[in-house]
Structure 1
């Protein structure tokens, strides 16, 4: 259960962040993220090589979480949780300038980069250090493991619904 909670918090931070660079080739022309609903699908932790890829932890038997983008790259993130599938809305969850992204998660500002983007897929890369304050506050029992992740990158993938 603690591992699931840790991964959920890590994703939440990751979902709203992205920082770092990557060898992934970008398309020749810049694609502006299309308005609509974007569903998080996987989270991958990379430190030299991929260490682990997990499915995004959507709450079972609830509508899947999603990021709803509107014109001007304004966004609301809808998180469904608990046995009653209570919805929490995070406004101003995604702000974009070029491929740079600024996310607001639980009051923490996390910066990152959109590394892959098509009309139906988006991948945001984040340096794990962007999440350290969030992890320390929400899961202090994992603080001792954070040094092992230094220099790691988190890749958060989305599919357009």
Structure 2
């Protein structure tokens, strides 16, 4: 049951990203147009606690985030045994290295902490997931205090 909670929290990191304040001045990140595939999700609380492969639906094409010319993006999620595609329009907007997501009515902010031409990492504060977990999975509310102060690092590769 705990593994399912962590899997949900970490996979939700793609859609629900936030971050704490950061005093260093990062150069603006220019996310180029194209498709970015999520690869790993890492839960960190002082030190990395858990890293797992992004949970793509088995036997389906891999999920991906497609960046558009206007710094917006659409997330394509393959679900169910039929590989049904759910598109999340305006799921990701970028301003420099800051990102803003609005998915399922939750507005969450995050930071791109690393990026090359072929790889990207987005860091978020785990606290942004609390309202989502309480609404979607109230049975896991008792485990949320363990996650306080943690962050999620979501890694992507460019397809």
* Aligned position for 2:59: 61
Q: 1:60 to 1:24 in 2, by over 3 A?
A: farther
Aligned residues: 158
- Corresponding residue number in structure 2 for 1:50: 48
Partner secondary structure for residue 42 of structure 1: strand
Distance in 2, Cα, partners of 1:32 & 1:24: 18
Q: 1:71 aligns with which of 69, 72, 77?
A: 69
Decide whether aligned partners of structure 1 residues 25 and 49 sit closer, same or farther in structure 2, where only a CA change above 3 A counts.
farther
Give 3-state SS (helix, strand or coil) of 1:15's partner: coil
Contact 1:59/1:80 (8 A) holds in 2: yes
1:159 and 2:157 matched? yes
**Residues 153, 22 of structure 1: alpha-carbon distance in 2 compared, 3 angstrom cutoff:** farther
- Tell me which stretches of 4 or more aligned residues in structure 1 moved more than 3 Å: 1-4, 6-9, 21-26
Q: Distance in 2 between matches of 1:74 and 1:50?
A: 30
Q: CA deviation at 1:8?
A: 5.0
TM, length-normalised to structure 2: 0.90
**RMSD between aligned residues:** 2.2
Residue deviations 1:53-74, cap 9 Å, x none? 0000000000100000011211
Indicate whether 1:125 and 2:128 are aligned: no
Q: 1:62 to 1:39 in 2, by over 3 A?
A: same
**Using a 3 Å threshold, how does the CA distance of structure 1 residues 30 and 60 change in structure 2: closer, same or farther?**
same
Matches within 5 A, 1:12-161: 12-16=11-15, 17-20=17-20, 30-161=28-159
Unpaired runs of 5+ in structure 2? Answer: none
Secondary structure at the counterpart of residue 136 of structure 1: helix
TM-score (norm 1): 0.89
Shift in CA distance, 7/150, structure 1 to aligned 2, threshold 3 Å: closer
Shift of residue 12, structure 1, vs aligned partner: 4.5
Instruction: Provide the C-alpha distance between the structure 2 equivalents of 1:55 and 1:3, rounded to a whole number of angstroms.
Output: 13
Q: Distance in 2 between matches of 1:101 and 1:57?
A: 22
Cα distance in 1 for partners of 2:59, 2:25 equals 37
- Check the 8 A contact 2:29/2:112 in 1, yes or no: no
